[in-house]
């Protein structure tokens, strides 16, 4: 949860003008050239799944003056629906799903566990959905070992890993360092993951090392202390250049950005600082920092970096307070992601000769 870095360290951030919803809406997605191939656009189908779930489960009413279409940003270049009434995709029971949480995710109690409510609900319905316990103040290499330990005990079912924030970086190290276990991984979903590093982490590193490391003493295990170093843009970009993403794994990108009314109080300074780089940021990441090369773009949640995945406002009510305090329906977002990936992988799973074979 690196948002605390600038939230505490840059309290006197200069006020930056950030466009409102209409100007943000009239932008185009970040679809960089990817290796191999070009990033695919799954926004229309993901929106269909998300909004169908919202309608079935009575969401909205959600935010003031909002509806389902506005919970996901509909940018001007989003493709239209293919037509017809496609059935709601089912979560494939052959798949096992594991969520890897972000920085400081064990420092603030249960509310900082990504998609906690959705995981409990879906696991209660019999789906193979769980979390990976990580050391949230440790380096990616350290947490890669913890992911390996979890998957070694999980069996040979085809596996989908969902990495929230720094959890994505931990997953990438796991894929590289534990190829035998990684052979069972068929997909990775990046949720606000800093694939290119984080400008916020770079600016807040000194403050964390100098002032904030002690704040967490007694709240959570310090681990190896490498959490912020793992998020540095130079480190991340150099690592990507030396470690191409594996072709055997399908990657998906789910990001967020928001206007002022949906930005948590403590994320406001970093949201303003990132605005000159890209006003489409979630208070921690710009779209460019979080777009995974070679992935399928699922969509952009109208939420901040916390709102997309964790209900931290339940524990940090002042710091996580927002002008519009209606929570984003993150459980629906999580379930829609599982349904989209299940549908997208179905053909490959149907033709796979055996569980655990690369797709």
Distance of alpha carbon 359 from alpha carbon 349, whole angstroms: 7
Question: Within the chain, where are the H helices?
Answer: 3-9, 21-25, 43-56, 68-71, 116-124, 140-152, 167-177, 179-182, 199-207, 233-242, 268-274, 287-290, 330-351
Q: Are 19 and 258 in contact (CB under 8 A)?
A: no
Longest dimension (CA), the chain: 59
> Within a 10 A sphere around the Cβ of 176, how many other Cβ atoms?
18
Distance of alpha carbon 204 from alpha carbon 176, whole angstroms: 28
On the question of pLDDT at 347 being above 60, the answer is yes
CATH architecture under which domain 3-8+18-27+37-75+88-351 falls: 3-Layer(aba) Sandwich (3.40)
On the question of pLDDT at 37 being above 70, the answer is no
Give the mean pLDDT of 86-107.
Answer: 91
State what percent of residues in the chain have pLDDT above 70: 80
On the question of pLDDT at 54 being above 60, the answer is yes
Closest-CA residue to 49 (of 91, 77, 94, 96): 91
Mean pLDDT estimate for the chain: 83
Q: How far is CA 275 from CA 18, 166, 218, 282, in A?
A: 6, 21, 35, 10
Angle at which helices 330-351 and 43-56 cross, to 10°: 120
Q: Are 1 and 112 in contact (CB under 8 A)?
A: yes
354 contact partners, CB below 8 Å, separation of at least 6: none
For residue 256, give the 3-state DSSP assignment: strand
Looking at residue 207, its pLDDT comes to: 45
Angle at 252 between CA 249 and CA 146, to 5 degrees: 60
Peptide bond into 61 cis (omega under 30): yes
On the question of pLDDT at 10 being above 90, the answer is no
Bigger pLDDT: 213 vs 171:
171
Give the mean pLDDT of 253-261.
Answer: 95
Distance between start and end Cα atoms, the chain: 33
Distance of alpha carbon 101 from alpha carbon 67, whole angstroms: 29
For residue 36, give the 3-state DSSP assignment: coil
Q: Are 187 and 42 in contact (CB under 8 A)?
A: no
* Residues 141-197: tens digit of each pLDDT: 999 999 999 999 998 999 999 999 999 999 999 999 999 999 999 999 999 999 999
Asked which of 51-55, 58-62, 144-148, 183-187 is least confident by mean pLDDT, the reply is: 58-62
Which pair of structure tokens corresponds to residue 203? 């600016």
Looking at residue 91, its pLDDT comes to: 97
Which pair of structure tokens corresponds to residue 337? 């992601």
- Residue 188: which region, alpha, beta or left (left: phi > 0; alpha: psi -120 to 50)? beta
């Amino acid at each position: 949860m690196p948002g605390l870095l600038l939230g505490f360290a840059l309290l006197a951030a200069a006020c930056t003008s950030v466009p409102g919803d209409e100007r943000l809406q009239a932008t185009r997605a970040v679809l960089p050239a990817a290796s191999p191939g070009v990033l695919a656009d799954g926004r229309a189908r993901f929106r269909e799944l998300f909004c169908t779930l919202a309608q079935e489960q009575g969401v909205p009413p959600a935010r003031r003056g909002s509806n389902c279409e506005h919970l996901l940003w509909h940018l001007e270049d989003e493709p239209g629906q293919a037509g017809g009434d496609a059935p709601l995709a089912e979560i494939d029971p052959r798949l096992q799903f594991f969520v890897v949480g972000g920085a400081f995710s064990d420092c603030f109690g249960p509310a900082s566990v990504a998609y906690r409510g959705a995981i409990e609900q879906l696991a209660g319905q019999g789906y193979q959905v769980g979390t990976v316990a990580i050391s949230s103040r440790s380096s990616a290499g350290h947490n890669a070992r913890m992911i390996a330990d979890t998957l070694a005990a999980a069996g040979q079912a085809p596996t989908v890993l969902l990495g929230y924030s720094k959890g994505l970086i931990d997953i990438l190290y796991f894929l590289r360092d534990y190829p035998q276990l990684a052979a069972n991984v068929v997909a990775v979903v990046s949720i606000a993951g800093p694939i290119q590093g984080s400008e916020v982490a770079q600016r807040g590193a000194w403050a964390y090392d100098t002032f904030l490391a002690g704040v967490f003493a007694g709240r959570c295990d310090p681990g190896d202390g490498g959490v912020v170093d793992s998020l540095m843009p130079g480190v991340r970009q150099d690592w990507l250049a030396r470690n191409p993403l594996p072709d055997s794994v399908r990657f998906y990108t789910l990001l967020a950005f928001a206007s002022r009314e949906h930005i948590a109080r403590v994320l406001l300074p970093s949201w303003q600082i990132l605005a000159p780089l890209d006003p489409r940021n979630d208070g921690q990441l710009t779209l460019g920092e979080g777009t995974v090369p070679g992935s399928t773009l699922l969509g952009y949640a109208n939420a901040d970096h916390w709102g997309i995945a964790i209900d931290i406002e339940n524990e940090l009510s002042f710091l996580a307070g927002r002008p519009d305090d209606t929570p984003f329906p993150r459980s629906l977002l999580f379930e829609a992601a599982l349904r989209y990936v299940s549908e997208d992988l179905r053909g490959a799973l149907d033709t796979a000769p055996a569980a655990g074979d690369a797709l």
